[in-house]
Amino acid sequence: MKDLRADILIIGGGLSGLTLAAVLGEAGAEVIVADREKPVTQLGETYDGRTTAISYASHQVMKAAGVWELIETDCEPILDIRVADGNAPLFLHFATDADANGAPFGWIIENNILRRRLFENLKRFDNVTHLAPVEIAEFFNETGHSGIVLKDGRTCAAPLLIGADGRASAARKWLGIGVAEWSYKQSAIVCNVAHEHDHENVAVEHFLPQGPFAILPMTRSAAGEYRSSVVWTVEESQAAKLLKLPAEKFDAGLQKLFGEHLGRVRHVSKPMGYPLRLLHANNYTGPRAVLMAEAAHVIHPIAGQGLNLSMRDIAVLAEIIVDRLKLGLDPGVPAALETYAAWRRTDTLLMAGFTDVLNRLFSNNLKSVAVIRGLGIGIVDKIPPLKGFFARQAMGLGGKSPRIIRNGRL
C-alpha cells in the first residue's frame, strides 16, 4: 500500500504509453505506468482486431524502446504502394528503390502481437513500474509534482504526468482542456484475409465514393497461407449491415473489391467495425502535465498515420525529458512542456488537415472533383521530387526529426 514516486508518471498503458515507458526505461528514468485494464483483457482476440502500419520513423522509435527485435519477424515490409481512384485509369505508384532509397516504406503488424511484445519488453526494466489494472480516484497537482490517488488509497506522483489514456482521456478532462472534434459518419471495417497469390509486399489504397479500401501485406500464416489486412471504410449505416452478413456473403463483397489479382479471398479473423472521428486537443499541456497520442489527437486512418503520429510524439517527448534528467533538471517546468507542444503542434495539425482533406476529396462521386483528383494523381506520379516528398512524409521523415528518428536511440 506504499505511495509511489518516480521521474515520470504515464497515465494509460496502450501501445503508445507502453512504448514511451520502454524508451524512458532504456534511458534510465524511473517511470510509473498506470492503466485501468488488465493486460490479459487487452490480449484477447476480440479486444483489437486492427493491424498497424509502422513507418520507418516509428520503427526507429521501437528500436529505441528495445522492442523492434521482438517484433521484427512478425512484421511484413511494405515495398510498393499503389494508390487508385475508383475506376480511373491513372494510379500513383511508389517503389522503394525509386522513392525511398531502398528502405521499406513501413511494416504491417497485428496490434495484438505488438501489444503482447510491448508487455513482455516492459518486464526487463527494474526502473519501470507497470500498474494494471488500477482505478484512479482523483488527480492532483502540488508544488513540484502531479499525481493520482488510486481507489485502493495509494498515491503515485512525479514531476511530470503524461496523459496517454486515449481519446476519452481522463487526464485531459482533469486538465480542463477542450477539444475540436467531429464524426466522419464513416466506419472502418477491419479484418485479416487469406488469398491464393503472393501480395509481393504491395500495399494498395483504393479510393471509393464511400471511403478508402486498403489492402495491407501481412506475414504468412502458420499454415503458410498468404495474408493481407483489410481496412474497408463505409458509411456507418452500411457498416452495421455488412458486419451482420453471413461469412459467404461478406467474402463475396470482399472479392468484388479485391478483384482477381490475389485469387480467391476469404476472411480469417472476425470483421470488426470502428467509427471514425477527428479529435484535436486545444492544448497539449497543463501544470506539470502533457498530453500525447490519442489523448491529444485522433485522425482519419486514410493514410495509416494514427499510431505513427503518436510515435513521433514519443520521440520528441523522450528527447526533452531525458536531456533534462541527464542534467539534473526538472522535466515538468513550463518551458520544457511548451517546447514539446510547439514541436509537435505543426506536424499534428498538418497531418490532421491532410487526412481530413484527402478523405473529403476522395469520398464522393462528384464528376467535377474526380477530374481534379485524376489530374493530381497523374501530376504527382510524373514528378519524382514531388513523389519523393510524399514518400518521406509517409515514412515519418518530414520536418525536424528528433534524435531517436535519426539514430534509433536517444
Tell me, what CATH number does 114's domain have? 3.50.50.60
Question: Domain for residue 65, yes or no?
Answer: yes
Question: Domain for residue 300, yes or no?
Answer: yes
The residue with cell 514519443 is: 314
Closest CA to 231 of 276, 194, 190: 190
Question: Domain for residue 56, yes or no?
Answer: yes
Question: Domain for residue 250, yes or no?
Answer: no
Give dist(CA 367, CA 373) in Å, integer: 10
Q: What is the pLDDT of residue 218?
A: 98
Please tell me what DSSP assigns to residue 153: S
Q: What is the pLDDT of residue 184?
A: 94
For 112-134, what is the mean pLDDT?
97
pLDDT at 366 over 70: no
Question: Domain for residue 39, yes or no?
Answer: yes
**Residue 348 is placed in which grid cell?**
499534428
Q: Which domain range does residue 301 map to?
A: 4-76+110-181+278-365
pLDDT at 209 over 90: no
Number of domains in the chain: 1
- Asked whether 390 and 380 are in contact (CB, 8 A), the reply is yes
Question: Domain for residue 162, yes or no?
Answer: yes
Average pLDDT, the chain: 92
Residue percentage of the chain with pLDDT more than 90: 76
Question: Domain for residue 84, yes or no?
Answer: no
The residues, ordered by sequence, that sit 6+ positions from 307 with a Cβ below 8 Å of its Cβ are: 15, 16, 52, 53, 54, 58
**Residue 19 is placed in which grid cell?**
512504448
For 187-193, what is the mean pLDDT?
97
72-76, 255-259, 305-309, 354-358 — which is least confidently predicted?
A: 354-358
Task: Write down the pTM of the prediction.
Answer: 0.93
Question: Domain for residue 115, yes or no?
Answer: yes
pLDDT at 331 over 90: yes
DSSP 248-285: HHHHHHHHHHH-STT-SEEE-S--EEEEEEEEEES-SE
